[in-house]
A and B are shown apart, each in its own frame.
Chain A
Amino acid sequence: MKIVLSGALVRFADYTKEVEVEATTVTEGLEFLTARYPDLKTVLLDGDGRVRRTHQLFLNGEQVERGAYPLGAAPVSCANPDTLFVLTAVAGG
């Protein structure tokens, strides 16, 4: 599966926008991603280990519901050539 990062997240993945991961679920893909880029982990995940709501996930263009992708929750299957888009838009005050 390919994971495509956007916005501020790219900085925490050594400015890599697209990452190929070995995964059969979205959760596995995110674990693979954060293992490769440890700095990304605290940015992508909140203090309880769930993907922050401000990062929206789209698998092949279809939004993955928030309840479906916290780490450790029921897996959402994926395979090649699936693409997981991580949309991040962080605004200021």
Chain B
Amino acid sequence: MVNPGAADRDAAGTPLTAAAFAPAAVAGLFGYLVPAAHGGAGGDRRTFGLILEHLGHACEELEYASLVSMYADIPAVIAAAGRPDLTDRYVLPMITGKRFGTMAYTERTDAFDFGCRVIAAGGGFEVTGDKVLQTGGHLADVFLTYVRDDRDDLRAFLIERGDPGVTVEPVPTSGFKAAGLTRLTLDRVSLDAGRQLVRVDGLSHAQLFLNQRRLFIACPMVGRMRAILEHCARYLSGVIRHGQPVNGFQAVQARLGRMRIRYETSRAVLHDALDRLGAGDYNGLFGPVISAAKYAVVDNAIALAMDAVHLTGWMGYSRELPYERYLRGFMGGIAGQTAQDVLEILLGNDVITQSEFGRHLEGVLP
């Protein structure tokens, strides 16, 4: 088992420590997505997704793989700027697990209305505002932060925890507690010009980043679904009702069958989407297949954990078994990496637009 102690951390609401990620750094996971020219392994996102799926299976805690993916993606996106100063200051220490970074994007409003603002000041910049949710912010000392400028364009800055005016507070949640979710408050934070990562069209930069990350929330879920299925089958073989193990009853077999279907279909759509991601066969600005895969995996994972609770009764609802904790963890996927309801709208709009393309072509073609 990778990183034991998940149940205790959940009960206490304690996030993962930096020490828990030392083996991931040694294994090269934080540099996996970073190009070799910047000190990384230059690995591909498909393979990394498969690694996350295995981590999800081996690790009792969804949060671990989720944070590994964030802490691996941030150095990669910084390295993409191609600036040696940023590679030395951020990328190389992140690869070795000496520094951690996360994304600070979300506010309680649409991106076009973001309240977090930047102004030019003293040859550099001054940033003020609130970012309401970051994954793994408890360990992050670098926040990739998107803010609006005086032209209402988004820019991206690398803001450090130690910068004067920066406050990082924990955000309590019902599940996914070890992920160390935080709120970032910026009070007239002064930044030198070198901290600017994206000068123009930060909205598109963020969208490209989010779209290629979306699958990574689903990868460990599929691994954990398999682990639940295996665990549940083992557990039920020891539960005796009417003088025989309950997995001898057809109703139980059918429920396990439904769980298997949820797992297999999730794995199939995930792997198809990962193949497309690896082949570059997706729209980086909004990938319908990738988005649909994330949606389907989250939905199936929640349903599978519910199945496990149904099968195991009060034991499954108690902390004697881990299913209620997994259920709360999977429910984080309702909101994370673009909310399920938002994905429905975006996918529906995509269908309508494709239909309008078709109607238009029918009207103009002979």
Contact = CB atoms under 8 A, between A and B. Distances in A.
A4 B356 contact: yes
B285 A89 contact: yes
A58 interface: yes
Given A91-B338, A93-B106, A54 B203 contact: yes
Contacts of A81: 363-364
Contacts of B19: none
A87 B151 contact: no
A89 B346 CA distance: 6
Contact of B349 (A42, A56, A89, A93): A89
Given A46-B153, A47-B201, A91 B346 contact: yes
B120 to A, nearest CB: 12
A65 B34 CA distance: 28
A15 to B, nearest CB: 15
Interface stretch (B183-191, B204-212, B236-244): B204-212
B350 interface: yes
Chain A residues touching B, majority SS: loop
Interface residues of B, number: 42
A37 B176 CA distance: 43
A36 interface: no
Given A89-B350, A91-B286, A47 B360 contact: no
Contacts of B149: 47
Contact of B210 (A12, A52, A60, A93): A93
Contacts, number: 94
Contacts of B338: 91-93
Nearest to B208: A53
A67 interface: no
A85 B153 CA distance: 22
B111 interface: yes
Interface in B24-48: none
A73 B286 CA distance: 26
A53 B153 CA distance: 12
Taking residues whose C-beta sits less than 8 angstroms from the other chain, chain A's interface range is 20 to 34
Contacts of B1: none
B153 A90 contact: no
B346 A46 contact: no
A91 B204 contact: no
Contact of B364 (A43, A53, A54, A60): A60
Given A42-B153, A89-B350, A93-B105, A50 B361 contact: no
Contacts of A90: 110-112, 203, 207
Contact of B357 (A7, A42, A47, A58): A58
Contact of B201 (A53, A61, A83, A89): A53
A47 B363 CA distance: 37
Contacts of B339: 92
A14 interface: no
Nearest to A45: B153
Contacts of A83: 360
Given A46-B153, A60-B364, 13 more contacts: A6-B353, A7-B346, A46-B204, A48-B201, A58-B357, A85-B357, A87-B353, A89-B286, A89-B350, A90-B203, A90-B207, A92-B210, A93-B338
17 contacts: A6-B352, A42-B152, A46-B201, A46-B203, A47-B199, A52-B201, A52-B203, A54-B207, A61-B360, A81-B364, A83-B360, A85-B357, A89-B346, A92-B106, A92-B339, A93-B105, A93-B206
Listed from nearest, the 10 A-B pairs whose CB atoms lie closest are A47-B153, A89-B286, A53-B204, A42-B152, A46-B201, A93-B105, A47-B151, A91-B338, A61-B357, A93-B106
